Every structure is written in C-alpha cells, then in structure tokens.
Structure 1
Amino acid sequence: MNDQRNMILAIVLSAFVLFGWGMASDKLFPQHKAAPQASAPVTAPQATPLPGAVATAASDTLRNRTVVLAATPRVKIDTPRLAGSINLVGARIDDLVLRNYKETIKKDSADVRLLSPSGAQSAYFAEFGWLGEGFKRPDSTSVWTADKQVLTPDSPVTLTHDNGAGQLFSIVVSIDKNFMFDLKQSVANQSAGTIAIRSFALLSRAGHSPDQSTWTHHAGPMAVFNGAANYDLDYKEMDKGETLSKNSTGGWLGYTDKYWLTALIPNQQANVAGRFTLSGPERYQADITPAAPTLLGAGKVLTNETRFFAGAKEISLLESYQNEGGVTQFDKAIDWGWFYWFEKPIFYTLDWLFRMVGNFGVAIIVLTFIIRGLMFPVAQRQFRSMAAMRVLQPKVKQLQERFKDDKATLQQEMMALYQKEKVNPFAGCMPIFIQVPVFYALYKVLTLTIEMRHQPFALWLHDLSAPDPLTPLNLFGLLDFTPPAFMALGVLPILLGITMYLQFKLNPAPMDPVQQQVFSLMPWILMFVMAPFAAGLQLYWVVSNVFTIAQQKFLYSRYPGIKVESEKPASEKTVEGKAR
C-alpha cells in the first residue's frame, strides 16, 4: 500500500459521493418519502368530482393559443414581472408569461410562458370555485363579471356571479409585484334555506413538464403537508394511476419544474384536504379544499382565502414568502436534497460575490480562490506527506522486492516503516475529500438555482448553467451544428483535461505500472465525463487545477525533499529538516 494507491481509492470514493450519493441517499436517508399518515380519509375532493378540472390533452384537437384567448372575455394582468389574463368563463387564471425570463439566450427569444388556456398546446391553468349541495354552483362554463378590465398590484379586481337561485358568488383577486396572487372567495346565501358549501382551488396541467425528475432534483407534483415536504409522486407514477390525498393543517401543493413553480396556498392555520389525481390521459390535477363543508344559513356570508404562486423559484423570494408571508416550508420548492445545509451557504456566498463583481463567471473564480485559500493549510500537510512518501520510496521498493511473494508480510513491514518514520499515507487524500462536498454543492447550485440561469461569463460562454457550446465537432462554433451531449467536448472540458494532466505530472510518479496507466488516463476520461456538465462547474474545476499547479510549484520550492531520488535513509533527509 502506498500514497498513490490511496489516491486512487480516494478518487473512486469521491466519484461515488459526487455521482452516486444522490441516488444512494434516497435509499439510505429517504427524507422525501414521508410515511403515510393515519389521518381520517379525505372526503373533500374525492366525494364530489371538481367541475371544470379537465385540461385539453395532447390527443385532443388543439387550436392556436391566440385564437383560444380571443374566444372568451378576459381581465388583463399587468405587473412588473407578469403579463397575461384571467378567463371570465370559469374564473380561471390560464394565461401567464414571465416578463423577466426568456426561453433561450437569443436576443429575439420569447418570454417564458407558464400558463396556457384549455384548448391550446400545453394547457396549464388554475381554477377557483365551490363544492356542495342544495345550491346551483358555478362551473367551467359560467360567465363572471369583472369590476375592472386590468389587474395590477395597485388595483385588485372583483369577479362576481349570480346563480339566479339565491346565491351570489364573488372572488376578489389581488397580486403583488412579484408572483403571488391572493384570492378571497365569498358566497352570500340570499336564499331562505341552508346550504352545505366549501370552496376549492385546483391546478390542471396537460402533458408532462419539459423538466424531468433526476437523482439531483424533483420535477412534478409537490406538496407540503403538516409541515413536511412531500416529493413522493411524479408524472410517470400518476400515469400508472397512483394518486396522493392527505389532510393537512395549512401547507401547500402544486407543480414544480426546474426553475418554475405553481402552488396553491390555503390559510396556514386551516384544516384542508389536498389531492393529486389523474383526470385523463396525461391530464394532471392538484386541488385543495377545506376538509369539511360549512353549513351556511340564510343571509350569511362565507369567505375563504387562497394564495396562488405562479412564477420563478428565486431563492430570496421563496424565503421571503416563507419568513414574512408565513408559507410553511416554501423554500423546499427547490429540491436541495440531503446536503442543503452546505449547498445554501455556497449559494449565498456565490450570490454575494456576484453582486460585488457583477459577473457570475468572475464570482466563480473568486469563490475558487477563496476555497483553495482556505484549504492551503491542508495542502501543505498533503505535500509534507508526499515529500516524506517520496523519500521513503526507495525503502518501499526494497520491501516490495524482498516480500513480493508474501503480501501479508509486505503490508505489515510497510506499515511498520510508516510508523517508524511518522508518515501518514492517507494524508494526501484529504484535499480530495474536502473538495467533494464543495464540488457537489456548486453542481447543485449551478443546475438548480434560477439565479444562475442564462448568466454569461466572457467570450463564447453565454450561459454558465449550460455545457460549454464550443467543440471541435463543430469547428468550435464555425459550423451551425450542435452535436449530441455525450460527444460535445467543449473548450473548458479540454482545458480541464490538460490542467489535470499537468497537475498529475507534477506529482511523484507511482512505482506501480498499473497505477501509472490509471493516472495517465484519468485526466482524459474525466474530460469526457465533465463535458455535459454546466460550464460554470467546468470553470471552477479548471481554475482550481491552475491554482493547485501554482500551489504545487510553490510548495515544491519549500519542500525539495519531494524530488529527492537518493536512496539514503529517510531519517537523514526528513521533510521537517528541509522545511527548517
């Protein structure tokens, strides 16, 4: 056993942590999989089918979105960050685009569209209404009257509907300057009898999200029930008929994509029933309603309030709604995973650096120097160990030749030698293990947080959250051709391989020929492995390699014993003596 073998072991274990932990942790630490609750069966949405809850599926006849929007009366939505309209037929928020976000990095790219009306491609909408008995309830074909033509943060809109049978329904819709709607649903019972009634809010989505769940993050149905985040369900499971129904005190439910979220948020002190169901082929529904109906007597008014979030998963905004708006566990809309306690500080540091320097690429470089600077004492230890191990190599080689047919004795003699010379063969592995959580945290930050989306660096790097676009296969951008991801070997991955090769060349060469081959191939293998990853992550690794090379040069000058080839006893050439 020697330091190079330990290094290989460290790299293998590090690769497991980086690429396998996400999958293994779901089994070892299933924090997402909440145990079934022993609450009473939910009768609210299940007993009575919700009206108007079906969106047009991909197999149905679809019309142009503009034609669909023009077919019904609407109230315009106009805020600094949202544009769209409310459908007065059915009281649906079914037309919404995000003004501050583009579909692609192209200059003429359209704004991101989040919601679309039923009958158009990718129908996705929120609807609000009532359930109950003893009255005529409005449905998806009911026409509502609005007191204003435009909804703005300073101008709420009141929708009203008279069923002609003694009940007057109203929905007061307001919106803040970001992505949160507030809907106060009221019903005035002007009849002579008592009615059993409760409000509902639903989300209906046709087709899967373009973002698929992976081992690093969840995309699809999501809820917070009784204070615990629930990621138990995905679209594929719903296609097989699986559903989720729970009673909860407060909480919220909706659909989360990689960067976007829609969520229905009831009163956080209310007892509610939430449910995810399949309302048709690839027709997904999330709904929430009070757990029990209210008996509303003659002349009485019932009001329930529901908030509706539809927008980007900006970390500071989600935390603001959680901490100041009282929305339970709202920051869990971002699937940080098991290492959230470490990933968030990395994000906060990187975001603060970005605000200081104005460029995320520069911020990543500065973060790299900070991390490497903090690790410098560990690097010194590593190099002391490498120096001592290099001095001991002649003695180790003698032992290997002497006990080549007795592996057990060889291991004992080598360990005795390390103990005698006070050398720790594992010390050289420490920097790798320390870097693994940093590397993984940065990977999650770059791939999950919308703050990194479409952030440019310099030259050809216009999106640090996407892979490096320049590759020899398209003559580094001269050809209008995008190769498959597994073949897209960009400039940064190539630099990563080169810098890692130079870094390994500066290390003492392993005495084992097999280990030499492994270390000679590893930079080029990792070059291909890293090619599909975010350019920001590749940038971090390249800069870290360059910094490590510079550290190696500096520390070689301080510990020249690492280059000693003499076979004199190590005690005559101790590293500490050289350091002094």
Structure 2
Amino acid sequence: MGLIVERRLITFIVASSVFFFAYITLRSWLGVPPVKPDPVIAEVPADDLQAPVVGGADPLALESPAGELPAGDDVTASTPEIKRPQNTEWLTVGSMDATDDYFMLVTLCSKGAGIERLELTERDRSGALKYRRVDVTSGYLGYFAGTDLVDTDGVLVNVVGPGTPAAAAGIQVGDIIVGIEGEAVVSREALLTSLSKTRPGQKVDVEVTRSEKTETLAAELSEHPLDLMRLARDGGPDQIKGNLTRLSCLLTLAKVNQTRIGDSNVAMRGLTDPTQLNWDVVRESGAASFSVDLSQKEMAVVGGDALRITRSYQLPETSYALDLGVQVENVGTTKQDIGVRLEGANGISLEGWWYSTKISPNWGGAAARDLVYKTKSSGHVLVSGFELLKAAKAEDKSNADPALPRYGMTPLLFADDGADASRDLSYVGVDSQYFTVAFVPAEGQASLTTLERGGAGIASDPAAIIRHQERAVNSTYYVDTLSRSLEPGEFMRQDLRLFAGPKYTSLLTQYGLQDCIYYGWFSAIAKFLGSLLHGLSAVGNYALAIILLTLIVRGCMFPLSRKAAVNAQRMQELAPEMKKINEKYKDDMEGKVKAQRELQQRVGLNPLAGCLPMFIQLPIFLGLYRTLSVNIEMRQQPALSFTDWASNLAGPDKLAYWGDWLWDYLSGRGIGWLGPYFNVLPVIVVVLYLIQQKLFMPPATDEQTALTQKMMSVMTLMMGLFFFRVPAGLCIYFITSSAWGICERIIVKRTLPSKKHFDLAGLEGGATTAPVKSQSLAERIRSQMAKPEPTFEKPSKRKRPGGKKK
C-alpha cells in the first residue's frame, strides 16, 4: 500500500511539472495578456472598503468595469519609452560661505527629488556659526553624500556644498578621497573616524584621486553646522536602532481617478513609485527643479494616463523658509482626476535626546521629536512621538515592510469628510526642543486650504526600537492635496514653504508658529528670567550672567535669610526644653506636640519661618529650569570660551567620556542612569549641600532626629544621582546659591546677638509641666466602667470582731 501511494505521489509531481512547463512555454510564445487593474483592492484601506455606497455606486471603483479599459486604450500598444537618468545626482541650494546671506545649505537628491540634508549656516556678528552641533567637537570638512567604492579603496565625492571647507580646498564632485593627514581612507566609516580626531580651525591634508592621479589638497576645518535635517544613518552616536534612512519631502500620487492611496501606505500598489525614480535635474542660481514623466503604460495600472510631475526648490536669502512647488501636468489624451501626496520632514536633529527635557502640554510627556499642527477648528495640537510609536506597535502587521514609514497608525489629523475649518491648516511639522521644521503657507497666504487630508506616522521600524530609547523615534507626517480634474494639457500646482529654523518667538511669529514655544507652569517667571539673563549677558558670558542672577536673587532675599538664621538660633536655644518635653511625653504623641506648640507660642517662635526662603527660591529654580529647557539663547553658550568643557549651558558639562568602558546600564544613551559622560558640576553641587548640612544642621536631640538627618544626607546623594544629567547652567545656579548660603550663614552668625533670646529659668516648669487634660463625657464614662472590681478576703481568712468568746 505504501509503495502504491509513493508511486502516485511521484506521478503527480512529474505530471504537474510537465503541465506548468508547457503552460509557461505557451504563454511566452503567445504573449502576455493585458494587465487588468483591480478597481477596489488597489489601495483602499480596510475601513473604506466597507464604506456605504452613495447613489448605488461604489465611489472608489474605476469608471470602467473590472478587467476592461476605456475604448481606444490598449496597455500593450506601443508607447514611446521614457528615458530616465541612470545615475543619481546630488545638488545644493544655499551656501555656507560667511560672505553670503544664506541661512541654510540644503542638499537635494535626484532619486525621489527629496531633501537629503539641511544645515543651518547663519553667522553671528563675529562670523562664527550661530547654530553649530553641540554633540561633536571635531572639525568639519563638508558633506559629500559619499559612497564606498566596490573595486577600490576610498570614498566617492557626490556633492560639495558652496562655502564649505571642502569647496575652499578645491575638492570636486567625482574626486575619490583616499587619505586624511596620512591615514588611509577606505570607506565612509574610515573617513568619519579620521575627521573625528581633528579640531575646528585645524589645517589638514586631504589626499584625493582625480583622473587617475593622486593630489594632496590643504583644507582648514570649521565647526560643524547644525544638520537640522539629515539621514538617520548620519546621526552618529545619537542614532538609535530602528529609525529609517529616508529622504524628506518625497512626493507620490495620492489619487488617480477612482483609485486612492491608502492612509497607511506610502505609494499606490502597482504604480511606478516616483520616490524610487531618478528625476531629471535643472540647476539654477539659488534654486533647483526636478521633473519626471510617468508613461501611459505605467499609469494604466491604476486607471490613469500619462503625467509629468515637476518639483521646485527655491531658497531666498536671509530666510529660514524653503519655497516648495509641485506641478502635475496631464500629458495624456484623456481627462484625469489627480491628487498628490507630499511627505513631511523626518530625520530632525536628535541632539541631546538622552538628557534633554522637552516641556510638553501633554501629561504623557514629550519625545525628542513630536508632531505639531494647527487648524482653524482644533487650534495648536501636539502629538507626542511616544503616542505615534505606541499606536504603531499596537497596529503593526507582521507583513509590513520594515524599511518603509508607518502611516495611518493614529486617526487622521484632518480628512476630506470633516468640516472645512478642520482642513484650514496653519501649519504641520515636527517639533524638537529648540527647533521646528514645518509646512507653512506660501508667502501671502494665511493658511493652506487646498489640502484634503493629513496623517501622522513614524519613519521607524516599531519592532526594532528598544526600551528606554523611545524618545528618539523618527516622527513624520504627510499631506494630500485636493484632487483636481485635468483635461489633456492642463496642470495643477501646489505651493507652500518648509520652515526650518530656531524657536525664537519673533521669528516663529512671522510664520504663525509661535504656539510651538511652550513654557508650561511658571511661564511668566521663566520668561522674565530669560529676559533678565539676556540683559545680564552683556557681561560677555551667560555663565557669569547666571551667577549674577543668583547673587541678585539671594541678595534680595538676605533679610529673609537673616531672619531664618535668627530663627534657627532660637530653635537651638530651645533644644534643651524640647528634649525635656520629649522625655516627658515618650508615649503621648498628642501631648508632646501640644506642649511643643505651647512652648513656641509662649516665646513667639514660628518653626515655619525658616522655610520661607526655600519656598521663594522654588519658583525661581523651576523658572530657570524651564528657561534652560525652552529658551534657545541658552543653547550653545559656553561656561568658558577656551575649553570644550561645559560648552553648552543647556546640557551637561561633559567633563570626560566614559561610555566606552562603563556598563550600558549606567552609561547607555537613554538606557543608562548616568549617561555616557562624567559630569563634575552635579558632584560639586552634592558636596556643597553635604557641607552645608554638616555646618549648619542643629545637633540631634533624640534618635528620631538623628535618623532624619541621616536620611537627609542619603537623599542628597540620591538627588545627585537623579540630577546627574541636568543642564550645566542649572548646576551653576545651585553652586552659586549654595556657596552664598554658606557664606551668608557664617556672616549672619557673627552678627547675631550674643545674649540668649530666652530665659530658660523662667521657662523651667512652665512648658514642661504636664497640663491637666480635660476629659470628655465619653472618656469619663469609659474610665468609670473600666475601674477594677473591689476584692474581698475569704470568710475563713476574715478576723472576728473584737470581744471575748462565749
């Protein structure tokens, strides 16, 4: 029986193989039948598939029956082949040259016609970069979009930005960098490693191969400009596993006649995706444009006709807004209903994500990169990156492509079925601690009213984001334009601007983005302290300004501090009486508290008076903390100009790097308690606090007080652990305040009267005498009922009354 089954199985396999071979052969001889588009499944989300039918017809179905094309349209007909560039090109708009008036240097890529990198290049009065990277101290040569070579060592230069040290040194597109300062460069990683050993202002020799000849070029390195938008792979040590490397502001079709892209998809299924094509490039002064043609054959898959898409980027001088233009022209022979999807920015700078605190109106807190948008109906809304990641994980599908962004994980920001006010968009973008990148209306427009829908998502693989690094998730978004019916030869156009700049109130107000600056509680104090620090910075250094601010605050509080010191001295004088009360009422807590209160009232002592200076300093501390977390003027300000230590008062002082040998549990970015750097300023703060406690804490009068004092010392050490990554500017405030407090107590102690404040002899027996405690009716009844019963002797033991026996 088993042999028969085995023979039948072999026969079935052979017959099936012969059948499929014959089918494939005949199919190749007879030709491939026309592709029949699927009118419903094309790109309709699951929710839309169950949408009610209007007027007896499916609004998402193609005009022609399934499997049929309009008359005269033959997909297999000969169509002119579209010739597209085979090689990817890179180009730039803007400049890094200090003599130019550009505030940005933008690198564009022809594959997808998106933004690969955006660097802020504005200069201050001294000619230095106004916004540089604060997480690196090495020299900067330039961004090359470099690629490793297969057949030889070196890095191919694909782009050289105007005004960069590389451009000044004469490095050109097509050069192969093979050495830096005598060290061989075999790959992009080796190039970055060689440059990481350099310093700004250092002159280095760069060896390049050009036309099969090796040349040595001299380059003077500069500071790193802040790369506000960059590829995830270029994030350096701050990059985390799971974030995707993807261009920003990519474009694809959102609607073609009755076929619509899904809210959770990045392209229409079956359509040749424009984001994956090499576009034709037109270079202009201060601008660049790209164009790509989609043939009739490519568009027929989704029920459309030939199209030509054109994109333009233009950067005005002295501006933080990049003008974007999108034009879609119907170059086919039939009428088409077309809509466009434009992706937003991603890869926003992650500087300081593992130590910074971004103030958020949401109780769940803020990530390093959050989504913000504002419509006429909703007002300003912040969607945390935590929420986007949580939604992506909850709805993630196992068959999803981990290399593509995840959209549609949350309800749409606005949709075509909403009210007009919900689609009246003022801005939508990604917000970080000190910078914002957002779509805003074109110049002269109050809002964007030509958009149909918008959604949020993450350019990350949610399954790859590890725990405690969720703050660094790559948040992003998209917008879909209203569809428009185009006759052959007609075109539609969408203009808007991409703002990418610092969060200055005056600057953001120009673009309607002022709501992106949020101080939260104590905002009035934080803004006042920020203005005061800005004025005090006239001394030439913000660290000195913080010291002066602390001295001003503590100086104004001196009368209260002196009163607190007098109060502390009086408490020490009363210590013997307090000790007597404790001994008197060991087992009566209520009586002890009452006796202590009566003693304090008799001598006119308020035990809470010494806490008043602390309560006054609390709003100042919180206000300064929020100023350092929100006010961009604190960013990049050094404590000392001649050293890299404490070069950013808005971040930790970073005395030494220990991340290469300390456990990740302690030093890991996001996952470590301490972070990858040893910070000395928090240690100084803790030491000063312990000294202050040792010098001025009154001696313990009992075991409970001694235990309390020990707990205070332990809590001081624990607070030093929790606040190990606080901004250096806040530590300077703590250090100055503690040093002032120590000196103040020493000086005040010498000015206090030497005589006693109280006559302890007069208090003797008064405060320590147990007061007669009045009893309530219930207590009196309980005391009567609780009296022991009288005892009597046994009759045999009783004595007889006096007298003689009879």
1:104 counterpart (133, 136, 144): 136
Q: From the CA coordinates, give the structure whose radius of gyration is larger.
A: 2
1:330 counterpart (499, 509, 516): 516
SS at match of 1:560: coil
Q: Which has the higher contact order (CA 8 A, sep 6+)?
A: 1
Q: Are 1:399 and 1:414, in contact at CA under 8 Å, matched by a contact in 2? A: yes
1:243 counterpart (393, 410, 424): 410
- After superposition, residues 280-299 of structure 1 pair within 5 angstroms as 281-282=461-462, 285-290=476-481, 292-296=482-486
Shift of 1:222: 1.0
- After superposition, residues 430-441 of structure 1 pair within 5 angstroms as 430-441=612-623
1:139 aligns with 2:253: no
Q: Distance in 1 between matches of 2:114 and 2:763?
A: 80
Q: Distance in 2 between matches of 1:552 and 1:147?
A: 72
Q: 1:205 to 1:183 in 2, by over 3 A?
A: closer
1:261-313 Cα deviation digits (max 9, x unpaired): 432335625265221135773586510124x43345567654332221335xx
Q: 1:230 to 1:466 in 2, by over 3 A?
A: closer
1:74 aligns with 2:86: no
1:276 aligns with 2:456: yes
Q: Which residue of 2 aligns with 1:514?
A: 707
Q: Which residue of 1 aligns with 2:337?
A: 196
Residue type of the partner of 2:275?
A: S
Shift of 1:94: 1.8
SS at match of 2:527: helix
1:431-465 Cα deviation digits (max 9, x unpaired): 22232332233334435555434432136443434
Shift of 1:565: 8.9
Residue type of the partner of 1:228?
A: H
Q: 1:565 to 1:496 in 2, by over 3 A?
A: farther
Q: 1:382 to 1:204 in 2, by over 3 A?
A: same
2:531 counterpart (333, 344, 348): 348
2:733 counterpart (512, 535, 540): 540
Identity %: 21
Q: Distance in 1 between matches of 2:686 and 2:758?
A: 28
Q: Are 1:224 and 1:329, in contact at CA under 8 Å, matched by a contact in 2? A: no
SS at match of 1:125: coil
1:95 aligns with 2:117: yes
Residue type of the partner of 2:315?
A: I
Shift of 1:150: 4.4
Q: Which residue of 2 aligns with 1:9?
A: none
- After superposition, residues 407-446 of structure 1 pair within 5 angstroms as 407-446=589-628
1:519-539 Cα deviation digits (max 9, x unpaired): 455555544444333332222
1:229 counterpart (371, 375, 381): 381
Q: 1:340 to 1:128 in 2, by over 3 A?
A: farther
Q: Are 2:107 and 2:118, in contact at CA under 8 Å, matched by a contact in 1? A: yes
Q: Distance in 1 between matches of 2:763 and 2:284?
A: 87
Q: 1:118 to 1:566 in 2, by over 3 A?
A: closer
Q: Are 2:517 and 2:630, in contact at CA under 8 Å, matched by a contact in 1? A: no
Q: Distance in 1 between matches of 2:327 and 2:94?
A: 24
SS at match of 1:245: coil
Q: Distance in 1 between matches of 2:457 and 2:741?
A: 53
1:361 aligns with 2:566: no
Residue type of the partner of 1:140?
A: T
Shift of 1:544: 0.5
- After superposition, residues 245-264 of structure 1 pair within 5 angstroms as 245-247=412-414, 248=422, 249-264=424-439
Shift of 1:393: 3.2
Q: 1:396 to 1:431 in 2, by over 3 A?
A: same
Q: Are 1:75 and 1:149, in contact at CA under 8 Å, matched by a contact in 2? A: no
Q: Which residue of 1 aligns with 2:227?
A: 113
- After superposition, residues 414-493 of structure 1 pair within 5 angstroms as 414-447=596-629, 449-458=631-640, 460-470=645-655, 484-485=666-667, 490-493=679-682
Q: Are 1:167 and 1:187, in contact at CA under 8 Å, matched by a contact in 2? A: yes
- After superposition, residues 38-57 of structure 1 pair within 5 angstroms as none
Moved more, 109-118 or 405-414: 109-118
Q: Distance in 2 between matches of 1:490 and 1:325?
A: 39
1:18-65 Cα deviation digits (max 9, x unpaired): xxxxxxxxxxxxxxxxxxxxxxx998xx999xxxxxxxxxxxxxxxxx
Q: Distance in 2 between matches of 1:207 and 1:536?
A: 25
- Give RMSD over aligned pairs: 4.3
Q: 1:84 to 1:385 in 2, by over 3 A?
A: same
1:495 aligns with 2:670: no
Q: Distance in 1 between matches of 2:233 and 2:713?
A: 58
Residue type of the partner of 1:315?
A: K
Residue type of the partner of 1:323?
A: T
Q: Distance in 1 between matches of 2:432 and 2:381?
A: 15
1:173 aligns with 2:313: yes
Q: Which residue of 2 aligns with 1:574?
A: none
1:103-148 Cα deviation digits (max 9, x unpaired): 4134346444344569988334222454332499982245545553
Q: Distance in 2 between matches of 1:534 and 1:421?
A: 44
Q: Distance in 2 between matches of 1:501 and 1:526?
A: 12
1:183 counterpart (321, 324, 327): 324
Q: Are 1:167 and 1:191, in contact at CA under 8 Å, matched by a contact in 2? A: yes
Q: Distance in 2 between matches of 1:503 and 1:526?
A: 15
Q: Are 1:78 and 1:84, in contact at CA under 8 Å, matched by a contact in 2? A: yes
Moved more, 206-215 or 453-462: 206-215
Q: 1:519 to 1:493 in 2, by over 3 A?
A: same
Q: Distance in 1 between matches of 2:350 and 2:678?
A: 28
TM-score by length of 1: 0.70
Shift of 1:384: 4.2
- Structure (1 or 2) with the greater helix fraction: 1
Moved more, 542-551 or 159-168: 159-168
Q: Are 1:222 and 1:255, in contact at CA under 8 Å, matched by a contact in 2? A: yes
Q: Distance in 2 between matches of 1:440 and 1:562?
A: 40
Q: Are 2:522 and 2:623, in contact at CA under 8 Å, matched by a contact in 1? A: yes
Shift of 1:191: 6.6
Q: Are 2:646 and 2:652, in contact at CA under 8 Å, matched by a contact in 1? A: no
Gaps of 5+ in 1: 1-40, 49-69, 572-580
1:522-568 Cα deviation digits (max 9, x unpaired): 55554444433333222211110111122223333443369869735
Q: Are 2:230 and 2:348, in contact at CA under 8 Å, matched by a contact in 1? A: no
1:550 aligns with 2:572: no
Q: Distance in 2 between matches of 1:285 and 1:394?
A: 67
- Structure (1 or 2) with the greater strand fraction: 1
Q: 1:502 to 1:212 in 2, by over 3 A?
A: closer
Residue type of the partner of 1:75?
A: L
Q: 1:381 to 1:553 in 2, by over 3 A?
A: same
Shift of 1:481: 7.2
Shift of 1:358: 2.2
Q: Distance in 2 between matches of 1:204 and 1:513?
A: 58
Residue type of the partner of 2:379?
A: G
Q: 1:140 to 1:470 in 2, by over 3 A?
A: closer
Shift of 1:223: 1.8
Q: Distance in 2 between matches of 1:480 and 1:498?
A: 27
TM-score by length of 2: 0.53
Q: Distance in 1 between matches of 2:661 and 2:103?
A: 34
Q: Are 1:390 and 1:564, in contact at CA under 8 Å, matched by a contact in 2? A: no
Q: Which residue of 1 aligns with 2:752?
A: 559
SS at match of 1:140: helix
